[in-house]
Structure 1
Amino acid sequence: MVGAATALAMPPTGAVAWPVIFLTFPVLVWLIDGAGSGGGRGIKAAAGIGWWFGFGYFLAGLWWVGMAFLVDADKFAWLLPVAVAGLPAGLALFTAAGTALARALWLPGPARVLALAVGLTAAEWLRGHILTGFPWNSFGYALAQDLRLAQGAALGGLWSLTFLAVALGALPAVLGDAPRDTARPWRWVGLGAAVFAGLFAFGAVRLATTEVGTVEGVRLRLMQPNLPQDLKFRYAAKDAVMAHYLKLSGDLSGPARPKITHLIWPESAFPFFLSREPDVLAKIAELLPEGAVLVTGAARAEERPDLGPRRYDVYNAVQIVDARGTIIATADKVHLVPFGEFLPFQATLESLGLEQLTRVQGGFSAGSRRRALVVPGAPLALPLICFEVIFPGNAVPGGPRPTWMLNLTNDGWFGDTAGPHQHFSQARVRAIEEGMPVVRAANTGISGVVDPLGRVVARLDLGMEGILDADLPKSVAAPFYAQLSDAIPAALWCSGLLIVIFTRRAQQAASTAKLS
């Protein structure tokens, strides 16, 4: 129950309910306080507490993942219980490891809240990296629900916010202690309040004083078609899909000012390979005025003659089409979704009759590396397809630094649930971390333009059909996190660990002196 209640700190309820962490993390501290005694026994008990906390948290926060298995229900519905319960059960192993580490460092008194922050932050970082990583709803996003507190991501990124969310959230637990010096818990609470106030003040000042302009000569139009997910798989729906897209995109060559320079469609927009449909490219050419381009998600096939005739790799890509109907640039998705776009041990599981949700024979292939995208008429862009935008510190490639992030996604798999709200919220934090605006086009929503401070400039809500016109915000100077990556959260984590270790030693020395 305590873990499930913590999920209220995440969208769509997080905007008002994120302070729930000041109630739930103290309970977790008290539960670990009572986690057995004697080395291994206490650690094992704490791991069990952590697992149940994590299971409740992920079950309440990620139940919507099961909706994807109902899109093609006759094929995948039987996997619904596995997804809804199995994913939280697996992710909860990380929380269990975090509380076990915390219990190994546990000590009487206020410093144990730092032990919990050290343990859970390490576990969350591992969750974001092991087995391709899945840092969805990391605890730090609780603080990011307030835009002023979210500015802390510019300093130390998501992992610093995670450390602070756990440490500050757990701090009320010390008020129930019975200290030798009655003022001691209040000193810790006062220090925590000062840190919280400093973070809040930094964010408020940054939002009030940072000027963000717009890129001259760039006018975006985001198209949100709100297509049923199953329609996007059917080649027979090709004409209906294209007619819908063209009509919804509107007249780009009319007298309206400012003129649209970049039309943006969402991820995997077509139930076909765009490069193999010259009639579709011709219709796009008719739609685009001279000088304008279409930036769209599209699957693309690359022949593999080395594997035999009619063999090819399929990529989830961003493609740019010019006013002549020519595909002039492509960027492939690098970080694929396990079980959605590929299967672990693909050949073996396919031989057993299993498929990934996208039902692409052999699964999607990953791009060789993340690269910036040259978009005619706009600054250098960083394409991030679907959940590639949720990975902190791993978004920007080497070479010339892009100045905006292009996030094409299709959250239609998950219907009108919490998932798309959480996805959009995490994209906002990437904007703050990198100091770049995010332009996000989603099939069913949420589409929008977010400035480099995380402010939503324009937005189309979930389940809406329509277009959204907006200017492209400029980037700001690269924040500390963009320059130093995980160095600041690592320093924060090490500082917490050292405080815990030295406090333990001081307590042990005092205890020994008292006995002697």
Structure 2
Amino acid sequence: MGLFLGNLAFGAWRTAEVDAAVAAMPRIKVSQIQQGITMEERMQSSPGEAMMSWVKASEQLRGQKVDLVIWPEGATPYDPRIAKVGQRMTYLAKYIDAPIVFGGGYVEEKVSPITGEPYYEQRNSIYLMSRQGELVTRYDKMVPLPFGEYLPGAETFPILREWIRGPGNFKAGEVPVVFSLPDRPEITFTTPICYEAILSRLVRTQLSEGQLMVNVTNDGWFGDTSAPHQHAMLSAVRAVELGVPIVRIAYTGVSMRISPTGKIEDETTPFTDVLRVIETPVGRVPTVYSKIGDTYAWLNLAGVIAGFVLFRRRSLANVTPPTASS
């Protein structure tokens, strides 16, 4: 009983401490945009039409003094360095007078060292565009989704692509990227893409200097199931682990904001149209996990193994050897 009450007391004290730290953090205004469209409906329209639907929705943010407009993963299926795509995004950033974080592709032409033939390398990326319409920073997804964004083993055994044609051919990003707001460089954030947000070790590495986690995803593939909600809850754990506010923007939901205490606010319903401006704190609350990572878990595992070995040795030592019968 004492241990139970002690846990409750510590939880209440820690929650109050974190709430006080969050209350003292600066705030920024960010957009929360999602679409009430199924993946079947989305696939019936062209990628250009899908992108323009996000442009038209975001135009309504003009005059609302948003610090950061956030689009989800897949909102821009093209590389924004393509002239027409870049022009549209530049127009939007200038029109609404706000920087934009958006999911897009990255395509790089390369030459095979073996055949000498040119080929294109693709990445699933997040871009930051300034309010002046300039591309400032890019992050490439470091952990592509197996059998969705790439086919495991296909580089070693190319024939697998002939047998399994569904997966993409996205390459993994190599380094974590910390973004800074162009007009307020003291505000820093990271952008884990989709299910990267459930990988605690990866997010801890990415968030080494970030004060906000912006998780963009496209959960429309799950359909009207429990999966979008489960994915969102798994992502929310990172806020408590790392003591950082999270803004989660999903193509069709669940979008939400999570406090470092784990409190969920501004949660949306999947497959509904949402367009609003919300405020989020920006800052960090020190946590054990942010400082030592998985060390505590490994120490626990080592302790369990050591305890088992000691128990085994004592058990064997207490065994009385059989005596020879006369």
Interval containing the TM-score (normalised by the shorter chain): 0.7 to 0.9
Picking from 196, 221, 224, the partner of 2:34 is 224
Mapped pair 1:264 → 2:74: no
Whole-Å Cα distance in 2 between the matches of residues 497 and 468 of structure 1? 52
Question: Which residue does the alignment assign to 1:411?
Answer: 219
Question: Which residue does the alignment assign to 1:128?
Answer: none
Q: For residues 252-277 of structure 1, what are the alpha-carbon distances to aligned partners after superposition, in whole Å with 9 as ceiling and x for unaligned?
A: 233x5xx2121101001134333214
Could you say if the C-alpha distance between residues 295 and 485 of structure 1 is closer, same or farther in structure 2, counting changes exceeding 3 Å? same
Instruction: Name the amino acid aligned to 1:251.
Output: Q
Instruction: Name the amino acid aligned to 1:253.
Output: R
Mapped pair 1:482 → 2:301: no
Q: Secondary structure at the match of 2:306?
A: helix
Whole-Å Cα distance in 2 between the matches of residues 394 and 351 of structure 1? 29
Instruction: Name the amino acid aligned to 1:223.
Output: I
Contact 1:303 1:312 in 2 (8 A): yes
Contact 1:382 1:396 in 2 (8 A): no
Question: Which residue does the alignment assign to 1:23?
Answer: none
Whole-Å Cα distance in 2 between the matches of residues 296 and 380 of structure 1? 16
Instruction: Name the amino acid aligned to 2:261.
Output: L
Question: Which residue does the alignment assign to 1:299?
Answer: 105
Whole-Å Cα distance in 2 between the matches of residues 230 and 304 of structure 1? 34
- Higher RCO (CA < 8 A, seq sep 6+): 2
1:457 shift after superposition: 2.8
Q: Which runs of no fewer than 5 residues in structure 1 stay unpaired?
A: 1-192
Number of equivalences: 315
Instruction: Name the amino acid aligned to 2:104.
Output: A
Q: For residues 390-417 of structure 1, what are the alpha-carbon distances to aligned partners after superposition, in whole Å with 9 as ceiling and x for unaligned?
A: 1122223379611111111111111121
1:367 shift after superposition: 0.9
Picking from 424, 432, 437, the partner of 2:240 is 432
Contact 2:26 2:282 in 1 (8 A): no
- 5 Å-filtered alignment, 1:184-333, equals 197-210=5-18, 211=20, 212-213=22-23, 216=26, 218-230=28-40, 237-254=46-63, 256=64, 259-278=65-84, 281-282=87-88, 285-286=91-92, 288-289=94-95, 291-305=97-111, 311-333=119-141
More moved, 454-463 vs 314-323: 454-463
Could you say if the C-alpha distance between residues 391 and 209 of structure 1 is closer, same or farther in structure 2, counting changes exceeding 3 Å? same
Question: Which residue does the alignment assign to 2:180?
Answer: 374
* TM-score for both structures, normalised by structure 1: 0.55
Whole-Å Cα distance in 2 between the matches of residues 221 and 315 of structure 1? 25
1:336 shift after superposition: 0.8
Tell me the percent identity. 26
1:440 shift after superposition: 0.9
Could you say if the C-alpha distance between residues 326 and 232 of structure 1 is closer, same or farther in structure 2, counting changes exceeding 3 Å? farther
Mapped pair 1:492 → 2:300: yes
Picking from 380, 383, 390, the partner of 2:198 is 390
Instruction: Name the amino acid aligned to 1:371.
Output: V
Instruction: Name the amino acid aligned to 2:209.
Output: R
Instruction: Name the amino acid aligned to 1:229.
Output: M
Q: Which runs of no fewer than 5 residues in structure 2 stay unpaired?
A: none
Instruction: Name the amino acid aligned to 1:220.
Output: V
* TM-score for both structures, normalised by structure 2: 0.84
Whole-Å Cα distance in 1 between the matches of residues 26 and 309 of structure 2? 54
Whole-Å Cα distance in 1 between the matches of residues 132 and 284 of structure 2? 34
Question: Which residue does the alignment assign to 2:162?
Answer: 352
Whole-Å Cα distance in 2 between the matches of residues 208 and 216 of structure 1? 18
Contact 2:245 2:281 in 1 (8 A): yes
Q: For residues 374-394 of structure 1, what are the alpha-carbon distances to aligned partners after superposition, in whole Å with 9 as ceiling and x for unaligned?
A: 332451111200111111222
Instruction: Name the amino acid aligned to 1:477.
Output: V
Instruction: Name the amino acid aligned to 1:213.
Output: A
Q: For residues 277-319 of structure 1, what are the alpha-carbon distances to aligned partners after superposition, in whole Å with 9 as ceiling and x for unaligned?
A: 4256336524655751111111121121456666221110001
1:504 shift after superposition: 3.8
Whole-Å Cα distance in 1 between the matches of residues 24 and 66 of structure 2? 15
Between Structure 1 and Structure 2, the one with more strand by share is 2
Contact 1:320 1:327 in 2 (8 A): yes
Between Structure 1 and Structure 2, the one with more helix by share is 1
Whole-Å Cα distance in 1 between the matches of residues 207 and 268 of structure 2? 33
Whole-Å Cα distance in 2 between the matches of residues 219 and 231 of structure 1? 31
Q: For residues 127-155 of structure 1, what are the alpha-carbon distances to aligned partners after superposition, in whole Å with 9 as ceiling and x for unaligned?
A: xxxxxxxxxxxxxxxxxxxxxxxxxxxxx
